[in-house]
Structure 1
Amino acid sequence: MSPVFAHGQLRLYLLVLLAERPMHGYELIQALGTRFGGVYVPSAGTVYPRLGKLQEDGLVTSEADGRKTVYAITEAGRDELAARQDEVADLESGVTDSVRSLADGVRASVGEAMRSLRADLAASARPAAPHRSGPHPAGAPTSTPNEGTRSLREVELLLATFRQEVRAEARRRATRGTLTPEVVAALRRGLDGIRSTLRD
Structure 2
Amino acid sequence: MPPVFSHGDLRLYLLSLLDEEPRHGYDLIQALSDRTGGTYTPSAGTVYPRLAKLEEEGLVTKFADGRKTVYQITDAGRAEVLARAGDLQGIEAGLTDSVRLIADEVRGSVREAMRSLQADLAAAATSERGTASQPSADDPRAYSREQLHRADTALTEFRAQIRGDLRSHVARGGMLSASVVNDLIAALDDAARTLIRGLRD
Change (3 A) 1:135 1:95: closer
Give the counterpart letter for 2:34 in structure 1: T
Aligned mates of 1:120, 1:41 — CA distance in 2: 37
Gaps of 5+ in 2: 177-201
Is 2:59 aligned against 1:63?
A: no
Aligned mates of 2:7, 2:128 — CA distance in 1: 57
Deviation sequence 1:156-184 (CA, Å, 0-9, x none): xxx9xxx9xx9xxx9xxxxxxxx553577
Tell me the equivalent position of 1:52: 52
Change (3 A) 1:46 1:138: farther
Contact 2:103–2:175 (Cα < 8 Å) also in 1 = no
After TM superposition, the score normalised by the length of structure 2 is 0.64
Aligned mates of 2:21, 2:124 — CA distance in 1: 56
Aligned mates of 1:71, 1:55 — CA distance in 2: 9
Contact 1:33–1:39 (Cα < 8 Å) also in 2 = yes
Shift of 1:66: 2.0
SS where residue 61 of structure 2 aligns? strand
Pick the structure with more helix per residue: 2
Contact 1:37–1:99 (Cα < 8 Å) also in 2 = yes
Tell me the equivalent position of 2:143: 142
Give the counterpart letter for 1:91 in structure 2: I
Tell me the equivalent position of 1:75: 75
Gaps of 5+ in 1: 171-178, 186-200
Tell me the equivalent position of 1:190: none
Over aligned residues, Cα RMSD in angstroms?
3.8
Deviation sequence 1:28-76 (CA, Å, 0-9, x none): 1111111112232222222122111111111111112222211111111
Is 2:192 aligned against 1:181?
A: no
Tell me the equivalent position of 2:108: 108
Is 2:4 aligned against 1:13?
A: no
Aligned mates of 2:68, 2:99 — CA distance in 1: 29
Aligned mates of 1:41, 1:97 — CA distance in 2: 17
Identity across the alignment (%)? 54
After TM superposition, the score normalised by the length of structure 1 is 0.64
Contact 1:40–1:180 (Cα < 8 Å) also in 2 = no
Tell me the equivalent position of 2:131: 130
Is 2:11 aligned against 1:2?
A: no
Shift of 1:4: 0.6
Contact 2:58–2:74 (Cα < 8 Å) also in 1 = yes
Give the counterpart letter for 2:131 in structure 1: P
Deviation sequence 1:129-156 (CA, Å, 0-9, x none): 4398795479997239xx98xx89xx8x
Shift of 1:114: 3.1
SS where residue 131 of structure 2 aligns? coil
Q: Spell out the pairing of 1:22-41 with structure 2 (5 A cutoff).
A: 22-41=22-41
Tell me the equivalent position of 1:42: 42
Contact 1:58–1:76 (Cα < 8 Å) also in 2 = yes
